[in-house]
Structure 1
Amino acid sequence: MAAPSSTTNVMLSISEKKTVSLDLYRPLRNYIVYNYSEREAQNLEDDLQTLKEYRSDIERAGSTDSSSSLPARRDLLQNYYKALCAVESRFPISPDQDHINSVTFTWFDAFKNKYKAAQQNIHLEKAAVLFNLGAVHSQMGLGFDRSSVEGRRQASHSFIAAAGAFAFLRDNVAMKASMGSSTTVDVSVECAGMLERLMLAQAQECVFENSIAKGNTPGVCAKISRQVGLFYEEALAALSVAPLNQHFDKAWLAHVQLKAALFYAEACYRYSLELHEKEEIAEEIARLKSGVNALSEARKTSPRGAAQQLLDAMNKLEASLNLNLERAMKENDRVYLMRVPPASSLSPLPAFSLVKPMQMNDVLDASKEKMFASLVPDNSAKALSRYTEMVDDVIRTQAEKLQQGSELARVRLREMDLPDSILALDGNLSLPVALKEDVEAVQICGGPAGLAAELQQLRDLKRVNQELLVQTEEHLQKEATEDAQFRTQFGTRWTRPQSTTLTKNLLDRLNRFAANLKQAAESDARIERSVRDHAALMSILDRHPIESALPTLARPIMSLDATEDAIVGALKQSLRHLETLGAQRAGLEDMLKEMKRKDDILPKLMTSTGSHEDLFRKEIAKYDHICEEIAQNLEAQEQLLLQIQAQNEEFASIFNLEDYKASHERIYKQIEAAISKYREIKENINEGLKFYVTLQEAITNVKQQCSDFVMTRSIQCREMMEEVQRQISGLSFQDGKSSGWT
Structure 2
Amino acid sequence: MPNQLSIPFKRTYVVPIRDAVRDYILAHHTGTHPDAYRWDVSQWEKLRSEVVSSVVHVDRVAALISYHAQIVFILTKLPADIGLEIPYAPVFDGNALPETSNSLIYDRAGVLFNLSALFSQLATAEDRSTPHGLKHAIKFYQNAAGTLQYLADTVSPLLQSSLAPNEAPVELLTPFIRSLEFLMLAQAQECVWQRAVMDNFKNGLIAKLAAKVGSLYGISSEYIKENASARRVVPSSWQAHLETKAFHFQAAAQYRKSLEDLEVNNYGYEVARLLEAHSLAKRGYDIARRGGASAPVQQDIKSLLDILQKNITRAERDNDLIYHKDVPPTSALPAIVEVSVAIPTVELGLKDPKTAVGSDGVIFGELLGWGVRTAIDIYNDRRQNWIAEEVSERVRRLDDNIANTLESLSLPSALDALDKPIGLPPSLVKKAGEVRADSGPERIEAMIRDVQALAKHNADLIDEAMDILDHEADEDEAFREGHPDVERPASHEANTELVQKEQRYRAVLQQARDSDELVRQKWEQWEDNIVQLTWTEASFELEQSIPSSTSADRLGQNSPPSEAHDLTRAHARALRALLERLEDLSRARVELEARVGRLAASDDITQRVLKAASGMEQWVNVQPAMFEDILDAELSKFDRFRVQLDEDEEKQEDMLRQVSERRAEFIQSRRDDASIQARELALQSMDLAYHKYKEIIRNLEEGLKFYNDLAVILSQFRDTCKDWVVLRRREIRHVFHRQPPPPAAAPIIDRGVKRESEEHRSSISDSARRRARAPLDLPPPNSDEWETMDMPKMPSVPKKTPKKKVAVRH
Question: TM-score normalized by structure 1?
Answer: 0.48
Larger radius of gyration: 1
Question: TM-score normalized by structure 2?
Answer: 0.44
Answer 1 or 2: higher relative contact order, Cα 8 Å, separation at least 6: 2
